[in-house]
Structure formats: C-alpha cells, structure tokens
Amino acid sequence: VPTETVPGRDADALVARALTGERAALARVLSFVDGGGDPARAVSRAVHARTGQSWVVGITGAPGAGKSTLTDRLVARVRDGGERVAVLAVDPTSPFSGGAILGDRVRMQEHATDDGVFIRSLATRGHLGGLSASVPAAARVLDAVGYPWVLIETVGVGQVEVEVAAHADTTVVVVNPGWGDAVQAAKAGLLEVADVFVVNKADRPGVRDTVRELDGMLELAGHGRGWRPPIVETVATDGSGIDALVDALRAHRGHQESSGSATARRRARVADELRAIVAEQLATVAAARGAGPRFDELVAAVDARTIDPYTAAAELAGPAAR
C-alpha cells in the first residue's frame, strides 16, 4: 500500500477520518501507534492538541481473576449511562496477528452494533519503546476522537503492565477470594498502585478473609495520598457489585480532580512515555552505529589491538554518550 510510505500525511488523513467517527480509520491509526517509529510519531503529533478530556481507568490483577468479564460489565454500565467508552486490552504475550485480535473479535460481538464502544488489543512486540510508549499514545488517540472513558485492561501482571496500569487516572486491582491472593497481589507490587480494590468472584468461599487481608495490608501501608482505596465485592458474571464499582471509580475521580492529584498522575504517565520514546530513539541510534564502514574499521582496529573496545565504542556512541 503506497500510503504506508508517507506516514505523516497518511496519519493526518487517517486521524481526520477517525475524528469523524470512522471506526476502520481509528483501528488503522491504533495499528500505527502499536507499531512504533515514524507512523506512531505522526499520529501522536496529529492528535495531541485534541486530547485532555478522557478519564483513563487501568484494570490489572492476576490472570484468571476475571478482568475481562469485569471490563465488559463496566462497558455495559457506562453505556447504560449514555457515555461512550473505549477498551485497550494490553497483551504483550500474544502475537499481534493472533490471540489479541481473535480476543477482540470474540468480545466485540457483544458490542458489535454499538458505535459507542471501541475495543482494541495492543501487543507491541515489534518496537523498542514497547507498551510504556504505545499504551499512553493509544489512550490519547481514543481521548482525541471523543471517548470520555478509556479502560486499560492488562492480561498479566508483568512489571511493564503494572507500570502502565499504575499510570492510569484510576487503577483498579482485581483479586479473588482465597487465602493468599491478596498477599500475591502485594508481592506483585499491586498494593501500592491500587486506587480501588475489587474482590471478584465474591460468591466463592473465603471472600471475608480476603477483604480482611486487604484491609489489614491497607491499614499497615497507611494512605498518605489522602485516599484510602475502597474494597468492592463483585460477581462479574452476574453483574453484582458493578454499580458499587462505578461509584468507587467516580468517587476516586472526584477526589483526584479536587485534590490536584490527577495532574501529578497524568504527568507521571507523560514522563514514562517520554522516557520510553527517548530509549527507543537512542536504541535506533545504537543499531545504526553498529554497522557500516567506520564500524568495520574500528572492529579491525580493536582486533589488531591498536585501540581498545571502550575507546572504539565511545567514538561510535558519539558525543551524546560522553
């Protein structure tokens, strides 16, 4: 496709079409973002001025905790209130053309006829900035095209996924009843990032113990940010507790906006994204410097012992690295 070779112009045109509500254009724009490099850059520039209206909710927790079902219930409830909502499913483990897309298709069926819902997976395997760059960028696109709610659902609890969820405006940590689940969440670093706890599958035995465990850990941790994370019990499969969860999300949003904490959180997200982009750009430089005639000369010189590897590398890295 020839348009792929002019990312800047193509991105502007696609973004314009996405802004009119054209879903295929939006999907394509998000593919650019997920792929990184120049197209992602062009998209970011094109949407940036229109952003700043969405509330981003991160939903994380161990695999199997019921995050997808919970997210689907949240989507339905937000739609009941008449607001539009987008979902970014973050799944670095499944290949972009495989599991993630298939997952979208299955889940999209329920909302397929609803223009107010947009669901998309990000896999981000191909480029160096990775999820830390692409998730905030994708969320900004959805913001710019007019989704007031953007839900970021992580599949696992890897370090990067926890970071991505932690930099949402509101971070929801999902656990299940059962001895030790709360402790596992704490070990994964989820206690510190949770604004709202959900004990999902709350029709199972052990729910009281898990709530008590979380409560105890929260008591020990204190709540220095002026917000004590509420613990909401849900049964996502039948919709129980979803109203309480929506109330908790709105309460947290209200607190963040009135306390000014929302700004700090948003800036942490931007900082993370900037660092990821800088790292990506410098890695591209490193790859370019590790090839070519001068590189070959320096390799030969090191091999001939007329120069040592660190001196040679310093020349390759250039003034930037001094």
Which parts of this chain interact with a second copy (CB under 8 A)? 40-41, 44-45, 48-49, 51-52, 137, 263, 266-267, 270-271, 273-275, 277-279, 281-286, 289-290, 295, 298-300, 302-303, 305, 308-314, 316-321
Closer to a second copy by CB, 83 or 303: give it.
Answer: 303
Q: Residues of 204-214 as b/e, b for ≥16 C-beta within 10 angstroms?
A: eebbeebbebb
Q: Which residues lie below 8 Å from residue 253, measured CB to CB, with a gap of 6+?
A: 55, 169, 170, 262
Residue number, 187 or 294, with CB nearest to a second copy: 294
- Give the residue ranges of DSSP H helices in 112-198: 130-144, 159-166, 181-187, 190-193
Q: How far is the CB of 273 from a second copy (least distance, A)?
A: 6
Q: How far is the CB of 52 from a second copy (least distance, A)?
A: 6
Spatial contact of 177 and 204, defined as CB atoms under 8 Å apart: yes
Residue pointed to by tokens 């990821």: 276
Both structure tokens of 5: 């070779």
Smallest CA-to-CA distance from 275 within 126, 133, 136, 167 is with 133
Nearer to a second copy, 6 or 282 (CB): 282
Given the complex with a second copy, which of 238 and 303 has the nearer CB atom? 303
To the nearest whole angstrom, how small is the minimum distance from the Cβ of residue 111 to a second copy? Answer: 30
Torsion sign (Cα): 175, 176, 177, 183: negative
For residue 172, the minimal CB distance to a second copy (Å) is 23
Alpha-carbon distance of 8 to 63, in angstroms, equals 38
The tokens of 157 are what? 């609890």
Q: Which is nearer to a second copy, 259 or 263 (CB)?
A: 263
- Which of 102, 264 has the CB closer to a second copy? 264
Shortest distance in whole angstroms from residue 284 CB to a second copy: 7
The nearer residue to a second copy, 133 or 202, going by C-beta atoms, is 133
CB of 56 to a second copy, least distance (A): 14
Helix runs in 22-88, H state only: 23-35, 37-47, 67-80
Residues in the chain: 322
CA angle 24-28-33, nearest 5°? 145
Measured from the CB of residue 316, what is the shortest distance to a second copy in angstroms?
5
